[in-house]
Chain A
Amino acid sequence: MTFLFPSLAFCLVFCLGLSNYAKAAETDHKERSVSVVERKRVQNAKGANSKKKEPTFDQSELYASKIEEKLIVNINKTISILETTGERLPKKSAQRADVLEKVLNLSLEQAAYLSSQESRRYDQEFEAWEKGGSRGTAPKLDSSQSIAHWNKVAGIAERILQEYPKGKSADIVAFNYALALQFLNREQESAKAFSQLIQKYPNSPVSGDAYCSLGDYYFDKLDFRNALNNYGSALKFRKSSRYSFALFKSGWSYYNLGQYRQALDSWKKTVTYTRVNPSKSNLALKEETLRDMVYAFAELGDVEQAISYFNANGGQEFVGQFLKLLANTYSDQGKYAKSIDAYRRLQKVAPYSSESPDAQVEIISLSYELGQMKAVWTELERFPQMFSESSPWAAKNDRKKVLEVQLTIRDQMLYYAKLSHKKAQASDNASQFAQARYGYELFLKAFPKSKEVVEVKYNLADILFFEKKYRDAGKIYLELAMLGADKAVIYNEKGAPAENVHKKSAEYMLDAFSKDFDPELKLLLKEVPAPGKPTKPISMRAQNFLKACGTYMKMYPDDKKIVKNCEVYTAEIYYRTNNKKKALPYLWLVANKYSADPEGKVAVENIIPLYKDDKKGLVLAAKKLSANPNYQKGDLGVKLGELLQGAEVESVASEKDALKRGEGWMKQAEKYKSRKDAPKYLYNASVDFLKAGEVDKAIIAYTAILEKYPKFEQNEEVYLQLAKIYDKRMEHASAIKYYAAFANQFPKSKEAGGAVQRNCILRIALAPESALNSCLDVARYSKEASLASVEELLESLYFAKKYDEMVKIYVQNYLPKYKLSSAQNITAHYRIYSALGKKSPEALKYGQMVLSDFKAAGGKAEGSNLRYVGEIVFNNANLGITRYLGLTLKGGTVPVMQKSIEVKSNALAQLENAYLEVSKVRDSYWGVAALHQIGYAYEQLGKQLANPPAINGASLEDVKKQLAPLSENALKKALEFYSNAQSTAKKFGVYSDYTALLAASLQRSKAGNLAFQDWVVLPDFLGGEVPMIIANKLQ
């Protein structure tokens, strides 16, 4: 029907973990099914089980009354004696006839008496059955005892009639025979017997009785017309013992024929006759007739006449009955308003009558039937006022009746309240509930100390609950709960304890106050606690809920389910109102007590933020909670672990000494090595170790990260850091290892290219012969950088004079794998040319390539490249100088000499032209050399001309004289070339072997004593910044 904590639905969303105890919070607050049986109005006059449709006064009573007059004693014994006597007497004798008639009469009396007894017993049982609410099968008349006697009567009578058919009492015997048959339910035989009697003995006094019996026969067959005829015939026998009865039954026959006026007349005659003939049976019949007359009066509706008649004929006592019957009649006819009027008349006419309280019951009932609930409650309210123990009515009625009426009042109040409640429950109708509530409240007002108070309050609270007046309901449940377990009991109709409602009252009290609080709770649970902020006030509803919880927990401390909910929600209320002081004990209670349940976990989640500003407390709390195995697993376990760890982490982080801090991180990493943050601690350790200057330890930490946590998100940086650290520490082999690993692991890192290149550079430094692949690998990131790296490798090999390897790389990698400029080609080809010794065919091939490169570049080159081109051109030119220098002037004859001079001059011209090719390159370095060589060629020519061979027939002096101009001219030319070379060398700062030669050549040309023969030590000074103090020690 409901939940103790409906807001839990909200909690499903909002409260972490609370959802799991939502079901546990359900209470058994079932709507109490009101225990009341609706009392249907009985159709008194014509109901199936009513006895009022026919007279209750019958023959058996008639005979019984006669028998009672005779005070039969030991009747069976007498009959036995008479029967024995009769058997001994001679048949058909007068004596025997007398004895048999006596036996017959005694048997008749006995049968009648037993029938009367059986009838009375039946009446009693029927009355009891009716009083019991007509439950079960209606009682039946048991005539088994009387039947034997009636058979005996019939048998004796038949014997007498056979033995004495004309006996003086034959009419009486015949009557008794017919009567016996009637009692034996052999109606037809009986009727036949009565008819034969009337025919045979028409003037016999018993013929009247016989007519009467025939009337009964037809009456019982509901043939009221024939019954009336026979009763009418019977009335012709005024001395018949059954005359008054015939009158009485005539009235009933009229009544049943709907002729109420005639019926009333017959009954009035009966009353008059029986008053005039006041035998005991007649007086009884009079009473019965007066009683039955009410039916006719009722049918006629003549109230005033009836009252008047009853008052005049000693039937005052029947006025009440009349009015009651009248009212019943109206009621049976559905004329409830008239019925109520009749009852009110009854109460007015006979206010102190015993029927007056019954009338009130009926008035209430009829008002209820009319749906006049206001009247119901008004009449119920009047009920105790009219018939309380202290009322005038009570003073005039016997105590028993008074007490009965008190019970009735209480019963009525309770009945209608419960009936309304039940109907309300069935229809779920709010106004019905309101009626029921009014009824219960009326009851409590009238009977505040009755046994039913618990039930009434319980039901009243129930109604209030469903009227959503939770607080009022809660208060009543609280009252019931406060009665204690021994008194909160509902009793059944017999006054025996039927149900102990203490626990349920306590539960419902909690439920009601919970419902009352629920809207607030919903809002409260939306509140996000703000630890540290001011405590919010707790509302009255919340207080009621908390008190209800407190009360319940005192009463039922073992009710784990509810106690748990109370504790949980108490914690929640204080928690969400920022009442840390009160929240914490409950949260801890829940956390400790329900650690295996989701609530415990939620409590833990709530406890944690309350220690926000108390780190020490938080750590202690986390330690305490972590000690509980239930909090060691899952996310919470992780969270607590992280808290503890977090505290440790904070402690470590707050350490000011970097070394200690680093060591702290290392311990954390070791302690929590399986946690995701472990590599971070190692990382932090490494950073702090670096700060502390403990590079070795930093390396250990970094290395541990890579070994243990290969997937750590910062490994990219770790690899690089390690590489850089090793690089900085000049542990280049390790640096190479980590640069390479970094590049392999993170090939797409923006620094991968740099790492690969650094790897190449370090390899060049350490072992250039093994550096090639790593330098080529740089091309993955940058072709240009790779080219630069390989060139750096080549430079290093060049300076290291590892020419073979250099040439190999040039030929196999540099030249074929890179797109090179002309300048780069010139350099490469020259380096190969140079490395191969510059003279071999292979070298010369590369020399030619240099020239081709130069040509391809449009005859342009810069710096060293220009010098390389110049050198090759110079070397080509210089090939001719040896031959030229080998040419000497020949003497003997002038023509020979002239020819040799011509040959030499031509050679010089060729040589000069060849050297002039160098100048076309515009390389000053080799240009100076070329100029020097030309100068030198001229100088040699000049010197040869100055010292010619002899000519046959001419003096040497004459020859010299003849050749002197040529010689001087040549030497002059030589000097010009030397000077030109010198100025060029000076201008371009050229230093070479040829400049050294040039210096000497110039000195020679100037014909002085000076000759550049000095010893010069080329220094190897490497400029460093060596402190003087050290330099002084080391020089």
Chain B
Amino acid sequence: MKLLTLIIIIFYELSCATGSKPKMESVDPAAKKEAAENAASASSEGEILSSSGSKKYGSTMVTSLSNSGFTSRRVNREAAAALAGAEAKSLTELQTSFYAQRLTSGGLEQVISKAKAMVAEELKKGVENDLSETFKLELALAAVQAKNAGFARLYLNQLSSSKNPKIRAGVFNAQGVMALTAGDIPDAAALFKESLKASSNYPAALFNLGFISLKYGDFEGARTNLEPLGDDWYAQSGVLVAVRNLGDDARAEGICSRLLAKHSNNKTILFNCGLFFLQNKGDKVKAKDLVTKAVKLEGGPARWDDDAYKILEKLGG
């Protein structure tokens, strides 16, 4: 963190000064002031603003979506691709297209291309304008998705000092994901926690930290992080594992009941509830039924099915 800070300090002037030099013979201080005000307003917490200050969307935001089919926030790639490919006739449409493009995980270049178009639009309104931090974060996320660590860090480093806590939360969370991808669990966990320090209910960090806790045996930690995510089935699936392993059978049963009612074809829910009925409730029939259903569903690592078959073997028949 120390090193990053140094870089940021050195480039603070460079990155902020574009277009701010006065003309040779005429200076327009008003334009400069306007840009400064815009920059200030753009950093307001909790809102998405274009750098020109206009509100483009409502304040209800979704802060995490995933391409994983096993999570509750799976992106509909087809829909995203359609949206990204649609002709953008306004800045709003361009922004929509930009979001969609990023979420398709279809390639960093396309995202950058749309970002350039957005920057061009912003610059038309004033040379001091820039992509909002939100969009820069999106760019960084696109780079993380594309596993382009260098490009991701270009923006993440810059945004890590944002005054907007949600931006900072997004940055630390993304850095956590990068660490996770690199196999650096301790750093990933630390960064997710840093994200939650910036924004205590930051859903992505809650999810990420909750499931890391879960995966590495911290059931209480998992429950603590996942419960605030409410009725989200994916979060609930994590809570299920946590409470089951903590011996909270009643809670686990209730969750299984709700999840299975709505997600009867979710492989992990079927398997984990099967474990619950087997280990917690001693209901081998129910367990056998659920594990059988789970093993029949596609997806997941091969180890899962091995585990499932071993259980089924024990259960006999």
Contact = CB atoms under 8 A, between A and B. Distances in A.
Contact of A693 (B7, B68, B123): B123
A553 B125 CA distance: 68
B303 to A, nearest CB: 9
Contacts of A996: 215-217
Contacts of A788: 3, 6-7, 10
A762 B127 contact: no
A73 interface: no
A680 B24 contact: yes
A767 B148 CA distance: 10
A1019 B124 contact: no
A721 B7 contact: no
Interface stretch (A96-104, A573-581, A750-758): A750-758
Contacts of A997: 217
Interface string A992-1009: 110111111001000011
Contacts of B115: 730
B149 A799 contact: yes
B271 A986 contact: no
A865 B13 CA distance: 32
Contact of A728 (B18, B157, B272): B18
A993 B211 contact: no
B302 interface: no
Interface stretch (A167-175, A908-916, A1024-1032): A1024-1032
Interface in B1-27: 3-4, 6-7, 10-11, 13-15, 17-19, 21-26
A1028 B11 contact: no
Contact of B207 (A727, A1019, A1031): A1019
Interface in B227-249: 234, 238, 241, 244-245, 247
Contact of A754 (B13, B60, B67, B238): B13
Interface stretch (A31-39, A85-93, A504-512, A682-690): A682-690
A1022 B300 contact: no
A792 B80 CA distance: 33
B280 A721 contact: no
A967 interface: no
A1034 B77 CA distance: 7
A985 B23 contact: no
B103 interface: yes
B301 to A, nearest CB: 9
Contacts of B63: 1023-1026
B137 A1024 contact: yes
User: From DSSP, what is the main secondary structure of chain A's interface residues?
Assistant: helix
A801 interface: yes
B186 interface: yes
A693 B153 contact: no
Given A996-B217, A1003-B245, A1021 B18 contact: no
A482 interface: no
B23 A684 contact: yes
Contact of B216 (A784, A991, A1019, A1025): A991
Interface in A818-853: none
A753 B203 contact: no
Contacts of B80: 1034
A812 B144 CA distance: 28
Nearest to A767: B150
Contacts of B83: 1030, 1033-1034
B181 to A, nearest CB: 8
Interface stretch (A278-286, A950-958, A1010-1018): A1010-1018
B182 interface: yes
Nearest to B21: A717
A1023 B173 contact: yes
B4 A758 contact: no
Contact of B119 (A730, A751, A1011): A730
Contact of A1030 (B14, B99, B148, B187): B99
B261 interface: no
B145 interface: yes
A276 to B, nearest CB: 127
A798 interface: yes
Contacts of A1021: 64-66, 71, 73, 173, 177, 203-205, 207-208
Given A690-B127, A795-B153, A1018-B180, A1034 B120 contact: no
The prevalent SS among residues of B at the interface is helix
A337 interface: no
Contact of B127 (A691, A766, A771, A1022): A691
A792 B71 contact: no
Contacts of B154: 761-762, 764-765
A1029 B58 contact: yes
B268 interface: yes
A785 interface: yes
B173 A1022 contact: yes
A687 B23 contact: yes
A321 B292 CA distance: 183
A758 B14 contact: yes
B62 A1026 contact: yes
Given A688-B23, A730-B116, A1035 B219 contact: no
A99 to B, nearest CB: 135
Contacts of B193: 989
A1023 B203 contact: yes
Interface residues of B, number: 127
A797 B67 CA distance: 25
Given A754-B14, A1014-B245, A1022 B145 contact: yes
A714 interface: yes
A796 B4 CA distance: 12
Interface string A722-733: 001101111100
B170 A1023 contact: yes
B174 interface: yes
Nearest to A1016: B215
Contacts of A757: 7, 10-11
A864 interface: yes
B189 A991 contact: yes
B214 interface: yes
Nearest to A989: B189
A1028 B74 CA distance: 14
Contact of A1024 (B31, B68, B147, B170): B170
A986 B220 CA distance: 9
Contacts of B110: none
A1008 B24 CA distance: 81
A758 B12 CA distance: 11
Interface string B104-134: 0000000010011001100111110010001
B272 A1015 contact: yes
B279 interface: yes
B250 interface: no
A707 B55 CA distance: 42
B212 interface: yes
Contacts of A728: 18, 119, 123, 130
21 contacts: A684-B26, A690-B123, A691-B28, A754-B13, A758-B14, A800-B148, A999-B217, A1003-B245, A1009-B280, A1015-B268, A1016-B211, A1017-B211, A1017-B300, A1021-B207, A1023-B174, A1024-B138, A1026-B65, A1028-B58, A1031-B65, A1034-B75, A1035-B76
Top 10 closest pairs, chain A to chain B, by CB: A999-B217, A693-B124, A1023-B204, A799-B149, A1031-B62, A724-B18, A1027-B57, A690-B127, A991-B216, A1021-B204
Given A996-B216, A1026-B65, 12 more contacts: A687-B24, A730-B115, A764-B154, A788-B10, A1000-B217, A1014-B272, A1016-B268, A1017-B300, A1021-B203, A1021-B205, A1023-B166, A1024-B64
Interface of B: 3-4, 6-7, 10-11, 13-15, 17-19, 21-26, 28, 31, 48, 56-58, 60-68, 70-71, 73-76, 79-80, 83, 96, 99-100, 102-103, 112, 115-116, 119-120, 123-127, 130, 134, 137-138, 141, 144-145, 147-154, 157, 166, 169-170, 173-174, 177-182, 185-187, 189-190, 193, 195, 202-205, 207-208, 211-221, 234, 238, 241, 244-245, 247, 267-268, 271-272, 275, 278-280, 282, 300, 304, 307, 311
